[in-house]
């Protein structure tokens, strides 16, 4: 079951949200972030999840396996302009990589990128130094 933090649930319930879509989108250092929307149409490409909240939870069918047993916590942090903004932290056993701010994540560890030309130049520079 997808779990949301208590404060976020309270705010959605107090504002009268009846349905909530939780979804991934491409962004951030690690490539994926999570967001929520109460403004959406129920279509064939989304599934309804079991919900213990005062509103229904929906997720894209393509993301369901990652969202079913996850936890989402909303935090308010300042961005690069020092403006406070809401962000969501996604927690799941499926997450393999995460950026320093914890809001961006990936389900696979990225392969390290090695610049062979730069490595050759470094080797040549060290060989030419008398240390």
Q: What does the pLDDT look like over 56-86, one tens digit per residue?
A: 999 999 999 999 889 999 988 777 788 888 8
**What span, in angstroms and rounded, lies between the C-alpha atoms of 127 and 131?**
9
Q: Can you give the pTM of this predicted structure?
A: 0.76
At 64 the pLDDT is 93
Count structural domains, the chain: 1
98 pLDDT higher than 60: yes
CB 27 within 8 A of CB 102: no
Element (H, E) at 17: none
At 84 the pLDDT is 84
Higher pLDDT, 130 or 97: 97
Q: What percent of the chain has pLDDT over 70?
A: 98
CATH of the domain at 16: 2.60.300.12
pLDDT mean across residues, the chain? 89
Higher pLDDT, 114 or 64: 64
**How far does the chain reach from its first CA to its final CA, in angstroms?**
60
Domain extent, residue 8, equals 3-127
In the numeric block, which tokens belong to residue 114? 């090695």
Residue partners of 22: CB distance under 8 A and separation at least 6: 2, 34, 35, 36, 57, 58, 59, 67, 72
131 pLDDT higher than 60: no
Determine the longest span between alpha carbons in the chain, in angstroms. Answer: 72
């Amino acid at each position: 079951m997808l779990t949301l933090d208590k404060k976020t649930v309270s705010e959605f319930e107090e504002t009268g949200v009846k349905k909530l879509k939780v979804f991934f989108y491409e962004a951030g250092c690690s490539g994926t972030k999570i967001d929520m929307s109460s403004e959406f149409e129920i279509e064939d490409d989304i599934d309804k999840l079991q919900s213990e909240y005062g509103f229904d939870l929906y997720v894209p069918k393509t993301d369901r396996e990652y969202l079913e047993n996850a936890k989402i916590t909303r935090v308010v942090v300042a961005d690069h302009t020092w403006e406070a903004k809401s962000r969501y932290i996604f927690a799941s056993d499926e997450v393999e990589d995460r950026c320093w701010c914890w809001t961006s994540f990936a389900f696979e560890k990225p392969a390290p990128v090695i610049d062979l030309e730069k490595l050759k130049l470094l080797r040549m520079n060290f060989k030419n130094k008398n240390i």
